[in-house]
Amino acid sequence: MSAQAARDRRARDAAGFSILELMFALSIAATVTAMAVPQAVHALDEYRTRAAAHYLALRLADARIGAIKRSTYVGLRFEAVGADYRFTEVADGNGDGLRTVDVQRGDDPIIAAPDMLAWHFNGAAFGILAGVPDADGRPAGTSDGVRVGSSLLLSMNPNGSSSSGTLYVHGRGRAQYAVRVIGATGRVRVVRYFEVRRAWEES
């Protein structure tokens, strides 16, 4: 083969991919994308749900600080909105603690605008997913995510303690978190449910 013929052949070989090679490369790219997208969606849902739980914990911690500063009861009041909940920060205005009837009458004033997790974290909502036990390891019994007593008020005492309760937050997928308030100390904890281990662990 002449030097010119060899150069021509190398030029043809370097000119580009054949249609078969191109189709093979595209099929590999499509397969990798199909595998990566669900993982990315799951990771984003996990991130948003975790952020929503920590946001809720921060709102409760702020209410506790507010109660100490004001030397009066401050808390969050929860109201059902469909299957989800709206929450509002309220303060004791007549010296008898936080009471639903007092909030309704305006005796216990609203001190912050109503809020919902979904307004800040797409897909996040109050609730317990099917098959997930409560944070004490017992069957949940219901999907209701607000477990703070029949008054639906979580109240922070000016002495630093609080009423007790657990707020469950989930995402669009299987991400499940809980925000726990320990009454004696007013401490707020965020825990996450791990399905593989079937256990709640601090987050």
Q: What is the pLDDT of residues 176-201, one digit of tens each?
A: 999 999 999 999 999 999 999 999 99
Instruction: Give CATH superfamily name and number for 50-202.
Output: minor pseudopilin epsh domain (3.55.40.10)
Whole-number mean pLDDT of the chain? 90
Which one-letter DSSP state was computed for residue 184?
T
Which one-letter DSSP state was computed for residue 72?
S
Q: How many helices (H) and strands (E) does the chain have?
A: 3, 9
Whether residue 96 has pLDDT greater than 60: yes
Question: Mean of the pLDDT values across residues 65-72?
Answer: 96
Q: What is the pLDDT of residues 105-140, one digit of tens each?
A: 999 999 999 999 999 999 999 999 999 999 999 999
Q: Are 77 and 103 in contact (CB under 8 A)?
A: yes
Q: What percent of the chain has pLDDT over 90?
A: 79
Give the pLDDT confidence score for residue 19 in this predicted structure: 78
Give per-residue burial for 94-121: e unless 16+ CB within 10 Å, then b.
eeeebbeebbeeeebeeebeebbbeeeb
pTM, two decimal places: 0.82
Q: How confident is the model at residue 23 (pLDDT cuts 50, 70, 90)?
A: confident
Whether residue 39 has pLDDT greater than 70: yes
Give the pLDDT confidence score for residue 41 in this predicted structure: 77
Give the pLDDT confidence score for residue 140 in this predicted structure: 94
Closest alpha carbon to 168 in 201, 131, 143, 136 = 143
